[in-house]
Amino acid sequence: MKIGIDARNDGTGVGRYTFSLIRELARLDRENEYMLFLNARRYAGYSAPGPNFRTVEADIRWFGVREQLQLPRLVARERLDLVHYPHLTVPLLATTPFVVTVHDLNYLDPGATARRAV
């Protein structure tokens, strides 16, 4: 399979999760091909972690119009079988099958954390 990973965010907990996932996939999986979509800063100095990994510069900010319009085209151009979006920012116009990771839903019920602490 050709699998894309949206790895544009590298300075947050989501970024740590994403690059830990990539590191472990490189250690465990030599069969599938991985396409890593990276922001410009990371792309400039990042070496793919294995022979079945490639990088693509995707200097597109999260939560913007460019993410909605340009990222789906960039992903489609790579002809991937699947994309992993490790944050809930999946472009509405995405046509490639995808998996999304939602790390936290506390914002939907701010009182949930306080109730669990009691």
pLDDT score for 27: 97
**Distance between CA 29 and CA 25 in Å, rounded?**
5
pLDDT digits (tens, 9 = 90+) for 40-66: 999 999 999 999 999 999 988 878 888
**Which residue in this structure is represented by tokens 């306080």?**
114
**Distance between CA 71 and CA 75 in Å, rounded?**
6
Whether the per-residue pLDDT at 113 is higher than 70: the answer is no
SS3 category, 67? helix
Rg, C-alpha atoms of the chain: 15
